[in-house]
Amino acid sequence: MATTERRTFLLDFEKPLCDLETRIDQIRELAKENNVDVSEQIAALEAKAEQLRSEIFSTLTPSQRLQLARHPRRPSTLDYIQAISDEWFELHGDRGGRDDPAIVGGIARLDGRPVVIMGHQKGRDTKDNVARNFGMASPSGYRKAIRLMEHANRFGMPILTLIDTPAAWAGLEAEQFGQGEAIAYNLRQMFSFDVPILCAVIGEGGSGGALGIGVGERLLMFEHAVYSVAPPEACAAILWRDASKAPKAAEALKITAWDLKDLGILDQILPEPASGAHADPLGAAAILKEALIHNLEHLLNLSAEQRRNLRYQKFRQIGKFSID
């Protein structure tokens, strides 16, 4: 990524690292121009940069992980599909007269195996984000998703879903067209399918918008992704009537991958490349592909009844508590 473009999308906590890397590049360029050997000094600075990177990304707060999950250069569903699939044929429409671009899906081959893959799709810039409603799906998006899943179940193809949305669209028109019913229908139907269902949170997993395509036997999640009952800003506005308290809400909501693993909601944390998935999209895609193939091989060895029971028990155990 060019230095100017990189600085355009730089997060506050990334600035010290970026400054040091810029300094290393400048020293290397000057040394080349003047034919001076500074390899030892550069090696020392690179070691310092690596240590600083490790310190920054190993001590991120939930609010900072949320910033990474929302990074405008973070790989999207379409990026991952194109990187991990051998073939990809996108399907459109909910067969009710609408096609929601906030959810994309279709038929693909993963490691030679036919699958149906879908997920939320955010935009790369303001115009694209507006067109895709910032990844917030309407009822037609969830109806398109369940149409593709029913097709997968009919023809025995595993279902892979990639989750990346702040929430389902909460506009007046969404309510008029049955947002709640569309998501509820998806939840019921996904519990009944015979084929394996693998879900992965690749960025931001928010509210019923995430859950509408998030019922599966296994839930995977990138280490800098987040998964929550509501966006921290919405939670802060509800509890304290002050959206600026979002960092406090992010702490309380337990949105990080490690929080969710401790709570038994998450099955596997996927490590990200150094500096996050946006710094190395192809590296992140390779990690995701390996995890999907490994988990899919395990699920395909189970019977349809075992998979349905595994799915059911997974969600029955969420929120379990005991009284001492």
* Average pLDDT value for residue range 175-194: 94
User: How much is the CA Rg of the chain, to the nearest whole Å?
Assistant: 21
Q: Give percent of the chain with pLDDT exceeding 70.
A: 96
Q: What's the CA gap between 269 and 261, in Å, rounded?
A: 8
Instruction: Report the 10 Å Cβ neighbour count for 92.
Output: 12
Instruction: Identify which of 107, 89, 112, 178 has the alpha carbon closest to the alpha carbon of residue 149.
Output: 107
pLDDT digits over 40-53, tens only? 777 888 788 888 88
Highest mean pLDDT among 104-108, 121-125, 276-280: 104-108
Averaged pLDDT of the chain: 89
Q: pTM of this prediction?
A: 0.88
Q: 66-316, superfamily in CATH?
A: 2-enoyl-CoA Hydratase; Chain A, domain 1 (3.90.226.10)
What the block records as the tokens of 308 is 């349905």
Question: What is the three-class DSSP state of 103?
Answer: strand
Report the range of poorest mean pLDDT among 34-43, 60-69, 108-117, 240-249: 34-43
Assess contact for 293 and 282: CB atoms under 8 A: no
Specify burial of residue 317 (Cβ count, 10 A radius: 0-12, 13-18, 19+): exposed
Region 140-157: what's the mean pLDDT?
A: 96
- pLDDT at position 2 is 44
Average pLDDT over residues 273-295: 93
Residue 182 CA: distances (Å) to CA of 59, 94, 295: 39, 11, 28
Q: Helices then strands (H, E): number in the chain? A: 15, 8
Residues 306, 217, 283, CA angle at the centre, nearest 5°? 135
Amino acid of residue 232: P
**What distance in Å separates the CA atoms of residue 132 and residue 46, rounded to the nearest whole number?**
40
How distant, in Å, are the alpha carbons of 220, 281, 324 from that of 293?
12, 18, 41
What's the N-to-C CA distance of the chain in angstroms? 55
DSSP E strand stretches across 159-316: 159-165, 197-206, 218-222, 226-228, 268-270
pLDDT for 198 equals 96
Question: Percent helix, strand and coil across the chain, each rounded to 5?
Answer: 55, 15, 30
The candidate with the shortest Cα–Cα distance to 81, out of 93, 71, 90, is: 90
Report whether pLDDT(74) > 50.
yes
**Bigger pLDDT: 198 or 50?**
198
- 55-59, 78-82, 86-90, 268-272, range with the lowest pLDDT: 55-59
In the DSSP assignment, the letter for residue 134 is G
